[in-house]
Amino acid sequence: MNMEGIKIRDLKKEDLNEATNLVMRLKKFNSEHDPLFTVSEDLEKNVREYLESAIKLETRDVLVADKNKKIVGVIMGEIHSRPFYQPSKELRVTEIYLLPEFRKGGLGKKMLDALIEKEKGKSCNIITVEFPSENLLAHKFYTSLGMRSILSIYGKKFEK
């Protein structure tokens, strides 16, 4: 994959449609792995509102990979408080999605590094990521970057 011409930058209002579509693709991909990730009927509206809030919030950031004015990747991170541990703040990557033709060429790592660099000034020096346990592609990607599992969340549906 040719990384030439790809710029990683903050999400802008004019990026919302393309970025929303990428995040929706990710959520639909997650739903293929596990029925507990069945997407909501309001998926598009909810994703758009979440991304819009990221433009304004100090504790949430979204970066996009822009190639010739086309959004080819998105990464979202949030600052989480860790009052019982040191460091007391963590950067948690909640979403990362690249168009398939832009994978396996270093862009995901480049986007992760750009997000880390942006958050360094916010007293964060630990990064965590969240993704569905059954997403083996994500597992392989993050372990290749030296990350390891530090928390498990288990779940099941229950009747109302």
User: Nearest 10 degrees: CA dihedral of 11, 146, 152, 54?
Assistant: -10
**Which amino acid appears at position 77 of this protein?**
G
Domains and CATH numbers, the chain: 6-144 (3.40.630.30)
pTM listed for this prediction: 0.90
> Per residue in 41-78, pLDDT tens?
999 999 999 999 988 888 889 999 999 999 999 999 99
pLDDT value at position 143? 95
Tokens in use for 30?
A: 């997650």
Strand pairing report for 60-67 and 6-10 = antiparallel
Tokens in use for 42?
A: 């309001």
| DSSP calls for the chain | ---TTEEEEE--GGGHHHHHHHHHHHHHHHHHH-GGGPPPTTHHHHHHHHHHHHHH-TTEEEEEEEETTEEEEEEEEEEEE-TTSSSSEEEEEEEEEE-GGGSSSSHHHHHHHHHHHHHGGGT---EEE---TT-HHHHHHHHHTT--------------
pLDDT value at position 1? 57
What value does the mean pLDDT take over residues 109-114?
A: 95
